[in-house]
Chain A
């Protein structure tokens, strides 16, 4: 009994040592964004492009100087969201969002959407059913 438990525990632990899940399925974000330049943005959605290989959320961010700057946030493939019941109307213009990501290396107002939440901190796309395709 103890032997079996030990094997089970060993299997679980091995899981933690292995490299991540199958495949990346997109270009290296480390080649596009700078790990030494994290950014935190708060603003409102002006447009969302539901395109591949990456969707883009465009948002207006008010700086400390009061000036509004438009940022582009690179996110994942919209197909995954379509399969969960979402569509191009699921992120309305004017929605308040927070973005925690990394600055683009090419000097533009661009970041990856490493963690995107609604203005009040709740998960984005609350309506999505993660098991819709199971």
Chain B
């Protein structure tokens, strides 16, 4: 009899707490060793890839497809609002913006670099192993292998950079150097040099939400470091999977000079 009363009281207390918003949401996945396990399929839900800074809706590059190709608006993901370009770099950004429908490396299906790969409008998958974390991106089948032990210096620059990971409490911190200067941060022309240094922080706030922050430093382009942040959401649908988006064929007309000449050309 006492047992039932006790259980009823516990239930009553839980309900009260739930009503007050104090019952914790689903627990963070952890490895047997206790660190968070970030394995799974994640995706950003914002328009950072169009433009990191706040922007309204705009026409897209091809009026024939009307609203389909148009630029979706967004309140921006840059902490403080503005990207702090040095004066000469600001002029380059302006030129990039003007040329964006031909100069954006995304058009050519080039690997997007870090942090852009995180907020492309395609999912990515984290596979957390014991000594290495793999981040596999659907866009262009880009991939990063993040060792949790320092592998030494990069032998040369690369598109997805040289990553080294470590844990800071429950946050996965990835230090990224040696990216080449060929990628952009978004479709609006935001860019960097080969001096780019990115520090990413992935913090689980819930079983299905990561808080993502990236600090960007590039003394050739920006007057000070700056930061972006956004939630990343887990794909929880049954049988979620990345599919093949090897976009090379979609870029070949543009790259090899046959653009607009497919029908009736020799």
How many contacts between A and B, using CB within 8 angstroms? 14
Count how many chain B residues have C-beta atoms less than 8 Å from C-beta atoms of the other chain. 4
Q: Is B156 interfacial (CB-CB < 8 Å)?
A: yes
Instruction: Mark out the residues of chain A between 70 and 100 whose CB falls within 8 Å of any chain B CB in the assembled complex.
Output: 78, 82, 86-88
Q: Which chain A residues border B157 with CB–CB below 8 Å?
A: 50, 88
Most buried by A among B153, B155, B157: B155
Q: Which chain B residues border A50 with CB–CB below 8 Å?
A: 155-157
Q: How far is the CB of A133 from chain B (nearest CB, A)?
A: 13
Q: Which chain B residues border A88 with CB–CB below 8 Å?
A: 155-157
Q: How far is the CB of B180 from chain A (nearest CB, A)?
A: 9
Residue of B nearest to A49 (CB): B156
Q: Which chain A residues border B156 with CB–CB below 8 Å?
A: 50, 78, 82, 87-88
Bound together, the chains give a CA A88 to CA B156 distance in angstroms of: 5
Q: For the side of the interface on A, what is the size category?
A: under 10
Q: How far is the CB of B197 from chain A (nearest CB, A)?
A: 18
Bound together, the chains give a CA A82 to CA B178 distance in angstroms of: 15
Residue of A nearest to B154 (CB): A87
Q: How far is the CB of B233 from chain A (nearest CB, A)?
A: 34
Q: How far is the CB of A84 from chain B (nearest CB, A)?
A: 10
Q: Which chain B residues border A78 with CB–CB below 8 Å?
A: 155-156
Q: How far is the CB of A98 from chain B (nearest CB, A)?
A: 24
Please encode chain B, from 60 to 73, with 1 for each CB lying within 8 Å of some chain A CB and 0 for all others: 00000000000000
Residue of B nearest to A48 (CB): B156
Residue of A nearest to B180 (CB): A51
Residue of B nearest to A55 (CB): B156
Please encode chain A, from 17 to 50, with 1 for each CB lying within 8 Å of some chain B CB and 0 for all others: 0000000000000000000000000000000001
Q: Which chain A residues border B155 with CB–CB below 8 Å?
A: 50, 78, 82, 86-88
Bound together, the chains give a CA A82 to CA B162 distance in angstroms of: 14
Q: Which chain A residues border B153 with CB–CB below 8 Å?
A: 87
Bound together, the chains give a CA A65 to CA B147 distance in angstroms of: 54
Q: How far is the CB of A52 from chain B (nearest CB, A)?
A: 9
Bound together, the chains give a CA A50 to CA B155 distance in angstroms of: 9
Q: How far is the CB of A44 from chain B (nearest CB, A)?
A: 21
Q: Which chain B residues border A87 with CB–CB below 8 Å?
A: 153, 155-156
Bound together, the chains give a CA A50 to CA B158 distance in angstroms of: 9
Bound together, the chains give a CA A134 to CA B129 distance in angstroms of: 25
Residue of B nearest to A85 (CB): B155
Instruction: Mark out the residues of chain A between 84 and 125 whose CB falls within 8 Å of any chain B CB in the assembled complex.
Output: 86-88
Q: How far is the CB of A60 from chain B (nearest CB, A)?
A: 22
Bound together, the chains give a CA A78 to CA B153 distance in angstroms of: 16
Residue of B nearest to A90 (CB): B155
Q: How far is the CB of A87 from chain B (nearest CB, A)?
A: 4
Bound together, the chains give a CA A86 to CA B154 distance in angstroms of: 11
- Where the two chains meet, the residues of B that have a C-beta atom closer than 8 Å to any C-beta of A are 153, 155-157
- Where the two chains meet, the residues of A that have a C-beta atom closer than 8 Å to any C-beta of B are 50, 78, 82, 86-88
What are 14 A-B contacts with C-beta separation under 8 Å?
A50-B155, A50-B156, A50-B157, A78-B155, A78-B156, A82-B155, A82-B156, A86-B155, A87-B153, A87-B155, A87-B156, A88-B155, A88-B156, A88-B157
Beyond known contacts A50-B155, A82-B155: 7 more, CB 8 A cutoff = A50-B157, A78-B155, A78-B156, A86-B155, A87-B153, A87-B155, A88-B157
Closest A-B pairs by Cβ, 7 of them: A87-B155, A50-B156, A88-B156, A82-B155, A87-B156, A88-B155, A78-B156
